[in-house]
Amino acid sequence: MKNISYWLDIPYTPRPSLSADITTDVIIIGGGITGVSTAYHCAKQGLRTVLIEKDTIASGSAGKNGGMVVEGFSMDFATAVEKLGLETARDSWNNTIEARKMVQSLIAEYKIDCDFSQPGSLYSVETSEGATWVRKEAATRKSADIECELIEQGIQLKHSPFLLHLFNPMDCMLHPVKFVRGLAEVAERYGAVIFENTKAISFTEHEVMTSVGIISANKVVLCLETSDPSITPAQGRIAREQAIVTEPLTDEQMANIDWPKGGMLWTEEPDYINIRKIGNRLFTSYSISLQPTSDERDQNREQLLEFIHHCLPGLKTQDIAISHCWEGLLFYTERSRPYIGKRNGLYQVYGQGGNGLTHGVLAGKILADSFIGTPIPDLYNLKP
Ligand SMILES: Cc1cc2nc3c(=O)[nH]c(=O)nc-3n(C[C@H](O)[C@H](O)[C@H](O)COP(=O)(O)OP(=O)(O)OC[C@H]3O[C@@H](n4cnc5c(N)ncnc54)[C@H](O)[C@@H]3O)c2cc1C
């Protein structure tokens, strides 16, 4: 078993590091999906754009996730309507639908080779309470014209504990590292300059200090998610997840995956967790403490295998081997939506939660548009 993200386990030659002082319009710190999208959108608008990444592009959470490009945010739609009101909930949700479409059109327009597919996703429940909740969620989404489909289990599938599924036909899957690195290459085609293995040591409104040079800029943008030093616990919560990818399953094992449709499945029973297919492998991840011990890691890994067995009882855990195991961090804001704005003179985006592949792409566009005069929608201003 390799202790590295499955996605990052591919050959890669990083770009050179910064080697001298430079001046630019926009300097972006952080080469995850948010920073790369910001670089792409800024460069496309003709702004002189530089991005620095302390390690390699997509080496942070952007390269350690499940590669699921889904609509919504860290809250179901019915709860969002109760908490935010119908209009804000619908606008926030619709923005994530636009963001997902943006991901699709970037991949299509620039032919980014990232194993993209659109099999749709399932939200699956196995108890009558869960079914009541799913029916309410589907009805609330439909009342706001949000597309979804209820799938009754009907004829009991041979290898499935579930009663009812909420199917979203539009959700997508991709290889996150190939996607982010592919978009970085597109940003370069528009003139963005990217330095890898270049760490920002300190930053002010117009200056970023690295160990090898100073970058002077009109705008300094932090796309650091969980490494943003200015985020306080009052603004949200950091979580750590442990993820696994299995060795390839046999055709017989794959045939035992009794999903009515879709390439990924979420459930809250027994706990909030998901599984996705990657060809004939499976991915799943689960939360672990922020500073796990090796015993905790072992237990969590066992739990992940048990979870696969629970959702796909046709697969025996003893027959599944893990090929890759890794951990990554997430940041959830109090209001389950990312923050996009300016604070203490610095532009910042954080709080993508478990939806950075969609939110991060949109956040980059919103920020770049704001640099040429389009105000950032109030929706994203968390007034920290
Ligand atoms: C296990 C797991 C599963 C997930 N599954 C999904 C999923 O399926 N779909 C989804 O949409 N989201 C998912 N997420 C969340 C998603 O990965 C994040 O929301 C997303 O990666 C955030 O992107 P980002 O660019 O904002 O941050 P990051 O990807 O963390 O990028 C920040 C970058 O900043 C760099 N950096 C930090 N400090 C400095 C410095 N001083 N100087 C220069 N560079 C610096 C880091 O090296 C890093 O590359 C998952 C997360 C985890 C952990």
Q: What is the pLDDT of residues 78-100, one digit of tens each?
A: 999 998 899 989 998 999 999 99
Q: How far apart are CA 243 and CA 327, in angstroms?
A: 6
**156, pLDDT greater than 60:** no
CATH tag, 116-171+235-333: 3.30.9.10
Residue ranges of domains in the chain: 116-171+235-333
**384, pLDDT greater than 50:** no
Q: Which helix (H) or strand (E) holds 345?
A: none
Instruction: Give the tokens for residue 290.
Output: 């922020």
The answer to whether the CB of 288 falls within 8 A of the CB of 296 is: yes
Q: Which of 353, 329, 351 is nearest to 340 (CA)?
A: 351
Q: Which helix (H) or strand (E) holds 118?
A: none
> Is residue 265 lining ligand 1, measured as CB closer than 6 Å?
no
**155, pLDDT greater than 70:** no
45 or 316, greater pLDDT: 45
- Percent pLDDT > 70 in the chain is 98
Residue the block writes with tokens 């890994």: 301
176: cis peptide before it, omega within 30°?
Answer: no
Q: Which of 44, 101, 95 is nearest to 73 (CA)?
A: 95
**383, pLDDT greater than 90:** no
> Is residue 327 lining ligand 1, measured as CB closer than 6 Å?
no
> Is residue 200 lining ligand 1, measured as CB closer than 6 Å?
yes
Please state, as a whole number, how many other Cβ atoms lie within 10 Å of the Cβ of residue 175: 20
DSSP letters, 170-188, are T-EE--HHHHHHHHHHHHH
Q: Once rounded to an integer, what is the mean pLDDT over residues 309-318?
A: 85
State the distance from the centre of ligand 1 to the C-alpha of 34, rounded, in angstroms: 8
- The residue nearest atom 48 of ligand 1, judged by CA position, is 60
Statement: the pTM of the whole predicted model exceeds 0.85: yes
State the distance from the centre of ligand 1 to the C-alpha of 226, rounded, in angstroms: 8
Q: How far apart are CA 201 and CA 166, in angstroms?
A: 46
> Is residue 224 lining ligand 1, measured as CB closer than 6 Å?
yes
Q: What is the pLDDT of residues 101-117, one digit of tens each?
A: 999 999 999 999 999 99
Indicate which atom in ligand 1 lies nearest the CA of residue 328.
53
Mutate to test the pocket of ligand 1, among 212, 275, 330 (most ligand atoms within 8 A of CB): 330
State the distance from the centre of ligand 1 to the C-alpha of 174, rounded, in angstroms: 15
State the distance from the centre of ligand 1 to the C-alpha of 362, rounded, in angstroms: 15
Residues in CB range of 201: below 8 A, 6 or more apart: 209, 210, 211
> Is residue 92 lining ligand 1, measured as CB closer than 6 Å?
no
Q: How far apart are CA 18 and CA 381, in angstroms?
A: 33
